[in-house]
């Protein structure tokens, strides 16, 4: 990743699934395989809503739905098995991970004006696998991940601290995502909330939660998004 800078900068915290890209359900497939192999429950995540969640939160819900107690070592064991399956699934079908409209042009236009970073419910290794499949991992200076907290609303302060540890002084912080959970996360962390209609939630659902900016995608909405910077 790039060398750190010391002057105050706007920081954009990007969600991954439904905002930057779609993997066609590869994450759910990999989690289902890992859970069945380790705990004997097939399709443990079939009824679990993934939108705006963290991987740690998803795992906890899968255990509850299966009526099982979650062992202390469940998360690290599932993490390792899941990441292995995810990498294999994405490598087997190179076109499965697809960039959403407006990428990577939006990243190219924001990079001179702000620091692009990640705020995602993915485990870091899963985020790297997904973004690596579309050649975007190196576009981001740092991130806040499910490894850092099970509660997505805790991630903006973690991202601020991580920026400072890398020599970045955050100015305006913007969270961009595709679900009401992303808007709530921005609000909880004192950040600007941008909602984009390319993923899990409808325009009506996103509008109802009152983001600072609501855009259809990063093609038609790019000028408005850049205006926040």
pTM: 0.93
What pLDDT, in 10s, does the model give residues 121-167? 999 999 999 999 999 999 999 999 999 998 999 999 999 999 999 99
Please say if the pLDDT value at position 5 is more than 60: no
> Each residue of 8-45: pLDDT tens digit?
799 999 999 999 999 999 999 999 999 999 999 999 99
Angle between helices 74-92 and 26-39 (to 10 degrees): 130
CATH architecture designation of domain 8-23+98-227: 3-Layer(aba) Sandwich (3.40)
Tell me the domain boundaries of the chain: 8-23+98-227, 26-92
* pLDDT at residue 57 greater than cutoff 90: no
Architecture of domain 26-92: Orthogonal Bundle (1.10)
Question: Is the fold of 8-23+98-227 the same as that of 26-92?
Answer: no
């Amino acid at each position: 990743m790039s060398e750190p800078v010391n002057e105050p900068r706007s920081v954009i915290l990007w969600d991954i699934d439904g905002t930057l890209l779609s993997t066609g359900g590869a994450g759910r497939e990999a989690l289902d395989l890992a859970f069945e192999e380790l705990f004997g429950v097939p399709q443990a995540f079939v009824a679990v809503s993934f939108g705006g969640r963290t991987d740690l939160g998803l795992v906890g819900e899968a255990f509850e739905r299966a009526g099982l107690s979650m062992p202390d070592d469940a998360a690290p064991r599932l993490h390792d098995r899941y990441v292995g399956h995810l990498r294999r699934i994405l490598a087997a079908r190179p076109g499965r991970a697809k960039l959403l409209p407006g990428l990577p042009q939006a990243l190219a236009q924001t990079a001179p004006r702000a620091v692009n970073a990640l705020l995602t419910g993915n485990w870091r290794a899963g985020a790297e696998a997904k973004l690596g499949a579309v050649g975007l991992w190196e576009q981001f200076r740092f991130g806040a991940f499910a490894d850092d907290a099970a509660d997505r609303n805790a991630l903006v302060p973690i991202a601020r601290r991580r920026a400072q540890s890398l020599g970045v002084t955050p100015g305006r912080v913007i969270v961009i995502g595709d679900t009401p959970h992303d808007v709530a996360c921005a609000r909880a962390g004192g950040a600007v909330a941008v909602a984009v209609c390319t993923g899990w939630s409808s325009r009506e659902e996103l509008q109802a939660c009152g983001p600072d900016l609501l855009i259809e995608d990063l093609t038609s909405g790019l000028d408005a998004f850049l205006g926040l910077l």
